[in-house]
Amino acid sequence: MKSLKISSELFQRAKAVIPGGVNSPVRAYQSVGMDPPFITRGEGPYLFDADGNRYIDYVLSWGPMILGHAHPKVVAAVQQAAAHGTSFGAPTEAEVELAELVCKRMPHVEMLRLVNSGTEAVMTAARLARGFTQRDLLVKFDGCYHGHSDGFLVKAGSGLATGGIPASRGVPASISAATHSLPYNDFEAVARLFEKRGAEIAAVIVEPVAANMGVVLPESGFLEGLRDLTQKYEALLIFDEVITGFRIARGGASEVFGVIPDLVCLGKILGGGLPIGAVGGKTEIMQNLAPLGDVYQAGTLSGNPISVAAGLATLQELNDPDLYVALKLQTERLAEGLMHEFQRVKVPVQINRITGLLTVYFTTILVNDLTSASQCNTDKFRSFFRGMLSNQIYLPPSPFEAWFLSTLHNETVIEESLKSQHTALKSI
């Protein structure tokens, strides 16, 4: 690997004008103790940095690039849309097409409102749930990340977990008090809370597969239990599928687990690598949004033609169910290959995975919630991360984030990654 001299110079320049030199905290590489590579371009499963290194990318812009970087059909769709104007702040046919496509792919979504990010989608879903139920309390789970709006930054995983920030300063206590966070996979704790405060609870929001404390799968019965309980107490169930939507299956987590939420929050893949978010669900609930109802939400760039074109092109490509069969196989192949190599050198790890997503936890214990995820050995992760980067494998720079695979992470790419792991483990 070539030294990161140019990237480090760019980082110094960035630090003078951008807080921490980055526009999103995890990118600063603080938890791995080095300067980040500055990226110049992506192509398929690869990223290239300013110093001339080529990496196999397992971050994929934190999920959206499921078809790999600069997919020709997505690029063409974006170019074509841009040539006709980038934003009108007015309705277009393409946004109707995108909404129709999502409703088809996720049959529980009867109506969809497009916004600009996953954070906005969750803000909207929360307001909608409160407006619909006329209750205030929200229940979330420790280590689940639902964007950076005030009400959700309690034990929120992702960048907060990486930075060791339990809750963000700047959030009024009165706002945090309206969110109750419970351990993931602990259905009994949810049931107890409902017994005490069921009449106050507007919604339970959950990542159906948690992917912001690393990947944590729902235990059998957990999602089903949440569904039954919310129905019993007439609260809403919200799935945050910003990461899992169109990734773990064509129809997302509901297709995999057979549990149907009242509302779903989407983002990432939905925009094919451009900013987008969406909240969708039953008409009965969705029609409470303005202008039909009096739950207000708006956005100048919502449904802009460029994000919509990229999203449509991406979802059309993902229509082929075989892509998901292959993605699942490749995820499994990578996880098994990594595990084999770790076992050979007697480094204990747990590898949690589902189609298109995995996390390597440096621990001997089963990881099923934030407490167990937090017990992983962060020093070992740091050495492993650095070893992999110097062997041209670009991993999330945090033990509490997911690795992402694209449909172009084929056998050759996985083989190359495992060879790099072999070399990296020799040097650490």
Q: Which is nearer to ligand HOZ, 65 or 424 (CB)?
A: 65
Q: Rule CB under 6 A: which residues touch ligand HOZ? A: 24, 26-27, 62, 158-159, 212, 401
Q: Of 145, 184, 361, 394, which one is the catalytic site residue?
A: 145
Can 15 be counted among the known catalytic residues? no
Can 57 be counted among the known catalytic residues? no
250 vs 360: CA distance, rounded Å = 25
Q: Which is nearer to ligand HOZ, 122 or 286 (CB)?
A: 122
Q: Shortest gap between Cβ of 140 and ligand HOZ (angstroms)?
A: 15
Q: Shortest gap between Cβ of 11 and ligand HOZ (angstroms)?
A: 15
Q: Shortest gap between Cβ of 133 and ligand HOZ (angstroms)?
A: 28
- Could you tell me if 359 and 217 are in contact, meaning their C-beta atoms sit under 8 angstroms apart? no
Q: Which is nearer to ligand HOZ, 105 or 146 (CB)?
A: 146
Q: Which is nearer to ligand HOZ, 26 or 47 (CB)?
A: 26
Residue nearest to ligand HOZ (CB): 24
Q: Shortest gap between Cβ of 396 and ligand HOZ (angstroms)?
A: 8
Can 240 be counted among the known catalytic residues? yes
Q: Shortest gap between Cβ of 391 and ligand HOZ (angstroms)?
A: 23
Q: Which is nearer to ligand HOZ, 50 or 165 (CB)?
A: 165
Q: Which is nearer to ligand HOZ, 181 or 212 (CB)?
A: 212
Q: Shortest gap between Cβ of 213 and ligand HOZ (angstroms)?
A: 10
**The 3-state secondary structure of the chain, one letter per residue:** CCCCHHHHHHHHHHHHHCHHHCCCHHHHCHHHCCCCCCEEEEEECEEEECCCCEEEECCHHHCCCCCCECCHHHHHHHHHHHHCCCCCCCCCHHHHHHHHHHHHHCCCCCEEEEECCHHHHHHHHHHHHHHHHCCCEEEEECCCCCCCCHHHCECCCHHHHHCCCCECCCCCHHHHCCEEEECCCCHHHHHHHHHHHHHHEEEEEECCCECCCCCECCCCCHHHHHHHHHHHCCCEEEEECCCCCCCCCCCHHHHHHCCCCCEEEEEHHHHCCCCCEEEEECHHHHCCECCCCCECCCCCCCCCHHHHHHHHHHHHHCCCHHHHHHHHHHHHHHHHHHHHHHHHCCCCCEEEEECCEEEEECCCCCCCCHHHHHCCCHHHHHHHHHHHHHCCEECCCCCCCCEECCCCCCHHHHHHHHHHHHHHHHHC
Q: Of 240, 361, 380, 394, which one is the catalytic site residue?
A: 240
Q: Shortest gap between Cβ of 145 and ligand HOZ (angstroms)?
A: 6
Q: Which is nearer to ligand HOZ, 24 or 80 (CB)?
A: 24
Q: Of 140, 155, 268, 380, which one is the catalytic site residue?
A: 268
119 vs 111: CA distance, rounded Å = 19
Active centre residues (catalytic): 145, 240, 268
